[in-house]
Chains A and B, each alone.
Chain A
């Protein structure tokens, strides 16, 4: 039977990305809906939210509806030698902006174990291509976790205090002096603030090198920018992009499309996480969140079906079905009923 269906924006996007990822040798990764809660309890800082839906199994184990995919893939790769390239389309369960738990669809890929410079270039390129596949004007921001680590080291700390990071994430440079003072880092804002002021990427990288002397970080950022620009995406360095320092150690990035008010893609290099699970080498990956994009990009269908067929209650079912099949054979979508349904629209109405 001919089955003509109109794909949703999310379905079309997934098919495009599936072709893109498989073309670079990534394999689909299907995981269970549940994970042992201990996986998340031991890595709470890696999660976007610490709220996790848990329940007891029949054997008394504490399970969780997975709030994240990367942890499961990295755990799956634990102890395996060599590089594993996987992509996925999975649901995760975590609180939305309103604090209520939601099922969130996520498409992404991970390159785990021995992720080298080439793997980084490949993942950044695929992230840029994924963003372009969403459609419309798009832009990416890129940072490096080594930048803030170097800044913290310059002030004799292992990491910057959370209050200072709060100002950095919000580009709140007016409160930064008082916050630095309260955290025992009086005057630190003089070296920190210029990194977050508006300016070109080259200027920011040069400033980072001059102020904190981290050449490798600067070279990593330059390479990331080159990869994104070669992939045809506008990209800028933005040091206000801060991920968790326990897990992310290298380049981190986010992607935006003009029609959507939040980042739709985020990712980064997480060698520290991979090492924690005992795998060799590093890891890098990203995820795209197409669910809400559908709200913004999806078009409302003008009609629910092409033809509404109205038949009488006493009509023989076979006769009605033959009539519907004939219309279907001509490529129409058909809705057959005795009464016109409420709140539905049709291109035309045919009475038998």
Chain B
């Protein structure tokens, strides 16, 4: 039996459809029930919906053998997990952005508003740039517009929000997509099952 943590929301539903086509169906999962755990003995799989940013936690602690998380969540959490497959869905980019016409003042620390403080710290420290991180939980784009920060480090999908707010991408940090992750210890004991799942999903992605 494979225990799978799926991220709640549209991305999670899309990924479940991929898993379903790969042979890991669980009819109850999308029927709008308020249940939290869904098991299908025939498919040999047990799913649970969790907040997207919690998927790495469930997998790292071994409650889930595998899970699906965005590259942004994996890098921000620093979770010690295997990252076995790029599922090629939920594509976007982690970027540094600011208001159009922004000029960086190198004589003082750069003020960076973000939901991803660890990613921001790592990125700027690799460039020896001193920064002051301003942790926000939403509406990140507002920060440089109102003067709370100089730049933002955030996910950019189409760039429409930035454009509509007279902002643009300054640098791309890394591309993001949904990744299949696995607990390192569980992989030692359920390696065959997990490898079979990876192989079936690879075929599904290739189609």
A261 touching B195 by the CB < 8 A rule?
no
| Residue from A171, A256, A262, A263 within 8 A of B83 (CB atoms) | A171
Q: How large is the interface on B (under 10, 10 to 19, 20 to 34, 35 or more residues)?
A: 10 to 19
Rounded to whole angstroms, the CA-CA distance of A82 and B73 in the bound complex is: 50
Residues of A close to B148: CB separation below 8 A: none
Rounded to whole angstroms, the CA-CA distance of A137 and B185 in the bound complex is: 12
Residues of A close to B137: CB separation below 8 A: none
A252 to chain B, nearest CB (A): 15
Q: How many residues of A contact B (CB 8 A)?
A: 18
A256 touching B189 by the CB < 8 A rule?
yes
Contacts A170-B82, A171-B83, A175-B86 given: A261-B189 contact, CB under 8 Å?
no
Residues of B close to A198: CB separation below 8 A: 191, 195
Residues of B close to A171: CB separation below 8 A: 82-84
B60 at the interface (CB under 8 A from A): yes
Residues of B close to A174: CB separation below 8 A: 83, 85-86
B86 touching A256 by the CB < 8 A rule?
no
In the complex, residue of chain A having the shortest beta-carbon distance to the beta carbon of B81 = A170
Contacts of B162-189 to chain A: CB distance below 8 A: 183-186, 188-189
- The prevalent SS among residues of A at the interface is loop
Rounded to whole angstroms, the CA-CA distance of A174 and B26 in the bound complex is: 28
Residues of B close to A141: CB separation below 8 A: 188
A172 at the interface (CB under 8 A from B): yes
In the complex, residue of chain A having the shortest beta-carbon distance to the beta carbon of B181 = A170
B188 touching A256 by the CB < 8 A rule?
yes
B186 touching A172 by the CB < 8 A rule?
no
| Residue from A97, A139, A172, A175 within 8 A of B188 (CB atoms) | A139
Rounded to whole angstroms, the CA-CA distance of A198 and B85 in the bound complex is: 13
Contacts of A256-274 to chain B: CB distance below 8 A: 256, 258, 260-263
Contacts A170-B81, A174-B85, A174-B86 given: A263-B189 contact, CB under 8 Å?
no
Residues of B close to A258: CB separation below 8 A: 189
B84 touching A256 by the CB < 8 A rule?
no
List 25 contacting pairs A-B, 8 Å CB cutoff, sorted by A.
A137-B189, A139-B189, A170-B81, A170-B82, A170-B83, A171-B82, A171-B83, A172-B84, A174-B85, A198-B195, A236-B188, A240-B82, A256-B185, A256-B188, A256-B189, A258-B189, A261-B60, A261-B61, A261-B62, A261-B63, A261-B183, A261-B185, A262-B62, A262-B184, A263-B184
**A-B contact sample (6 more), CB < 8 A, given A240-B82, A261-B60, A263-B184:** A137-B189, A170-B82, A175-B83, A261-B62, A262-B184, A262-B185
Instruction: Give chain A's interface residues, CB within 8 Å of chain B.
Output: 97, 137, 139, 141, 170-172, 174-175, 198, 236, 240, 256, 258, 260-263
